Structure 1
Amino acid sequence: MYKVIKELLVAYLLQHGMRSQNHQCLITFFYKKNPDYETEAYLISQMSYYRNRLTYYGEKIPRVFYDKNKNEIDKIIQLIGKLIET
């Protein structure tokens, strides 16, 4: 699910005439443009952290993290999709 959010953030940046593949830049840009979505930006940042731990160190993502945040993650995907549409 993080990859979906990351690709949506790439599209969001492109919509604003910018490019970046750097995950932290994507998250920061999202937050700077949408300061009311601080909680969402923080959750995306946590997802990025777990993605890095999985990719570079082979650590598993705690199931409790996914279970606890699944609904919010789905909402974030919808939110960024709507921001791209406007």
Structure 2
Amino acid sequence: MKKEIMDWDKCAKESIRKVEADMDKIRSMVKMAKIELEIIAKIPVTDESASKLVKDYYEIIKELMIALLLSHGLKSENHECLISFVKHQYPQCEYEIGIIHELRGIRNRISYDGFFIEKDYLSGKKLEFEHITGMLKKLIGENVPELGQMD
């Protein structure tokens, strides 16, 4: 049975707090995500590298969700509420949220259960992961126009 995305109202009440939107931190997080994407793009996708690369994609997406939340003046105590926030705030991104939620579960299985991903999984999802990173950067840029182009 697939675990549901955490309820936003519960997250807002228990795991989300207001903070000041730190433009330098947001800019730095987006820059780091860009660098990390450039690095992993150079790693060949093999059965040996696929699990590591999937974890890396999740970490990049997670950092961009943290930056997006911060651009709204919010901070989350857990990864589940990051996903819940994006689902609540950007309902038009429902498809992408489903992919992120699935990716979080796979990343947890890799990290905590020693689960191995086959290269075909990553080959089939890589474009979606790249689309999601671009979407998150676009949402950050739209929410904080003074940051300029988020590429």
- Normalising to structure 2: TM-score of the pair? 0.54
The residue that corresponds to 1:26 in the other structure is 82
Q: 2:97 aligns with which of 3, 23, 41?
A: 41
CA RMSD of aligned residues (A): 1.1
The residue that corresponds to 1:61 in the other structure is 117
The residue that corresponds to 1:75 in the other structure is 131
Of stretches 19-28 and 59-68 in structure 1, the one that deviates more from structure 2 is 59-68
- Count how many residue pairs are aligned between Structure 1 and Structure 2: 86
Amino acid at match of 1:69: K
What is the alpha-carbon distance in structure 2 between the residues aligned to residue 62 and residue 11 of structure 1?
30
What secondary structure is seen at the aligned counterpart in 2 of 1:19?
strand
Structure 1: runs of 5 or more not aligned: none
The residue that corresponds to 2:72 in the other structure is 16
Distance verdict in 2 for CA 1:64–1:21, change over 3 Å: farther
What is the alpha-carbon distance in structure 1 between the residues aligned to residue 77 and residue 120 of structure 2?
28
CA contact (8 A) 1:27 1:41 kept: yes
Q: Give yes or no for the alignment of 1:52 onto 2:108.
A: yes
What is the alpha-carbon distance in structure 2 between the residues aligned to residue 37 and residue 28 of structure 1?
12
Q: Give yes or no for the alignment of 1:85 onto 2:141.
A: yes
Structure 2: runs of 5 or more not aligned: 1-56, 143-151
Matched residues, percent identical? 38
Greater share of helix: 1
What is the alpha-carbon distance in structure 1 between the residues aligned to residue 98 and residue 63 of structure 2?
17
Moved over 6 A (4+): none
TM-superposed CA distance for 1:69, in Å, is 1.3
Of stretches 5-14 and 64-73 in structure 1, the one that deviates more from structure 2 is 64-73
The structure having more radius of gyration, on CA atoms, is: 2
TM-superposed CA distance for 1:65, in Å, is 2.3
